[in-house]
Amino acid sequence: MKSLLLSLLPLSALAAPTYPETRKEAVVDDYFGTKVEDPYRWLEDDNAADTKAWIKAENEVTGTYLKSISQREAIRKRLAALWNYERIGMPEESGGKWFFSRNSGLQNQSVLMVADAADGEGRVLLDPNTLSKDGTVSLAGHEPSEDGRLLAYKLSSGGSDWQEIRVRDVATGKDLDDHLRWVKFSGVSWARDGSGFYYSRFDAPPEGQTLTRKNEFQKFCFHKIGTKQEDDVIIYERKDQPNWNIGGGVTEDGTYLVLNLQEGTERKNRVFYRDLKDPAAKVVELLNEADASYDFIDHVGTVFLFKTDLNAPLGRVIAIDVTKPAKSEWKEIIPETKHQLDAVNSVGGQLVCTYLQDAKSAVSCYDFTGKKLRDLELPGIGDVGGFGGRSKDKTTFYGFTGFTEPGSIHQLDLATGKSRLFRRPKVGFDSAAYETEQVFYPSKDGTRVPMFIVHKKGLVRDGTNPTLLYGYGGFNSTMTPGFSISRAVWLEMGGVLVVANLRGGGEYGREWHEAGTKLRKQNVFDDFIAAGEWLIANRITSREKLAIQGGSNGGLLVGACMTQRPELFAAALPAVGVMDMLRFQKFTIGWAWKSDYGSSENPEEFKALYAYSPYHNLKPGTRYPATLVTTSDHDDRVVPAHSFKFAARLQECQAKDGPPVLIRVESSAGHGAGTALAKMIEKTADEWAFLAKSLGMDPKW
């Protein structure tokens, strides 16, 4: 059987390079009586000379292999050509000025523009491309003051989660002296008089531990314009709660400061507030049980509106009068429906509610009493987002995208509910040649799981189609339809794109999410494996033509599934994955993931984690799929040590006749956000070329 299977594989996929020698050390941990070896622990030290030498050697092997693939250059050229189109972001107004992003095509970073009208051509306010030679300094966020006179903006270097905040005069385009550091996982919220803004920060990490030190004891501060950061006022901190993330913002009318306090990534939070009308007012602990999710929407006087999943796993809207905060006094404004309530925006005196109907967007508008005004007619089946603005606004903007529909911007008239197309990009991709279908398949335990399949029209289901199965399945995140140039090129190459909506995500509310967490995490992997089996059984593809891809938590997904069912997949692309499930909590923000994963510090959870941890479940002599592990040297979300250790162990365990198992380590890049476009094109060209060789593809343009 094995020899028959090998004969069916593309011959080009079988030749593997000689890997660098990676030393092993005798490191053993004892988890509740179970001895666990960790021979590549030394790769966790990203500053060590040995680690840097290992990265260099691995990159040389990987680079040589990828450059030898004949299709790579054609793929790279097509990616660059297709990406070369103007992209303009959604406009936002402050003080009569309109702010929006613009990319002329192949700029590494989009440029922030300011104009006098929403559809104005505008002028350059901030060009991140001028801040570094290689485009690795990115604009990580911006917030204009209420009068539009000043702009607070966040910069990230090399893709790190660490950010610096600076302040720019909008009229002159010049920066003030204000400079804030050690900012991470923070918004910016201006005082209504423009005197300063609220933000969150950590203490400076010890030298040499910037990208690995555990992030604890976040503080919520106020920065007064024209002062030094060390003079900032700490509005709220909890020295007894190292794992509380503290954020917040000022209400539109400037009367309240609303604080959101969350421990880890679990969708249960606390909400406190402070009355800004009274300078002596203290922070009031309004919701302090952390028994559900509470997303502040808006307020009418002393009545606060929240989106919550308390007693409503799919979400509802409630009203709490802060002068009568007892639960018995709470009022339901918009009840739970049969669909997941994904977001609620307050604009123009309306509550715009975005729902997920089998992972596709639907939008309904209500007044503040909960009376339904209308359902919005959307441009098609896809994903929407936006609906920002103020209570006085007559219109709002939203974006719409689908797997084959580049993101367009629409302007909604709030009085009539009618939309008009505001902007649509001109992309050299023939959307009409492709179609998207949604199917539902049974998982291992019979659970009905949705899945999107995107392909050229007239696809012949004969089991020969190169297919890329993508998934995530965690942290309540939803995998909704969305356009990307990289996926468009994959489709042009003759590939089929499949996106599975696995348990652990947020497609069907809290219960769907919790069904893929902690001791039930295996459900996620079962869902993904079942998706692959369905695609093969229904002759969309075959085992020899099936590849899997995922990033971050999705990288864990790919790592777990390729170790559990190595014979099911021909190729794997795990990106920035969480691969060592016993030690993830020891680095940066990893401790926050315990709410989804559990922890090796707990006996029962250790057993579950150890059973699927990709790094620990690789077995010597096994024939694993052709694998390209990708990570970045500045990833301080999922530290690259996860990928280093997994790749080293994978190369050690791969069968002698097995296909290539490689690692690609990007420099001056992080977890993904803010990556320079030039680097994204090169990385995608490498991934698609790797799949082309592994799956026996020969794309032509």
pLDDT digits (tens, 9 = 90+) for 133-142: 888 899 999 9
pLDDT digits (tens, 9 = 90+) for 204-235: 999 888 888 889 999 999 999 999 999 999 99
pLDDT at 6 over 70: no
Q: pLDDT > 70: what percent of the chain?
A: 97
Q: What are the tokens at 464?
A: 């020969």
pLDDT for residue 669: 66
Active site amino acids: 552, 671
**Which secondary-structure segment (H or E) carries 689?**
helix 677-695
φ/ψ of residue 232, rounded to 5: -65, 145
Model confidence at 158, pLDDT cuts 50, 70, 90, reads: confident
CATH classification code of 61-80+430-695: 3.40.50.1820
Give the predicted TM-score (pTM) of the model: 0.90
Q: Which residues contact 523 (CB under 8 A, 6 or more apart)?
A: 443, 445, 447, 503, 504, 515, 516
Distance CA 304, CA 330 (A): 10
Under CATH, what is the fold of the domain 88-250? Methylamine Dehydrogenase; Chain H (2.130.10)
Distance CA 200, CA 218 (A): 7
Q: Which residues contact 573 (CB under 8 A, 6 or more apart)?
A: 547, 548, 549, 550, 558, 627, 628, 630, 687, 690, 691
Model confidence at 8, pLDDT cuts 50, 70, 90, reads: very low
Mean pLDDT of all residues in 393-399: 97
pLDDT for residue 249: 97
Three state DSSP letters for 49-114: HHHHHHHHHHHHHHHHHHHCCCCHHHHHHHHHHHHCCCEECCCEEECCEEEEEEECCCCCCCEEEE
pLDDT for residue 672: 66
pLDDT digits (tens, 9 = 90+) for 375-391: 999 988 899 999 999 99
pLDDT digits (tens, 9 = 90+) for 174-187: 999 999 999 999 99
Distance CA 355, CA 28 (A): 49
pLDDT for residue 700: 84
Q: What are the tokens at 633?
A: 């040297």
pLDDT for residue 11: 35
Give me the residue spans of the domains in the chain.
61-80+430-695, 88-250
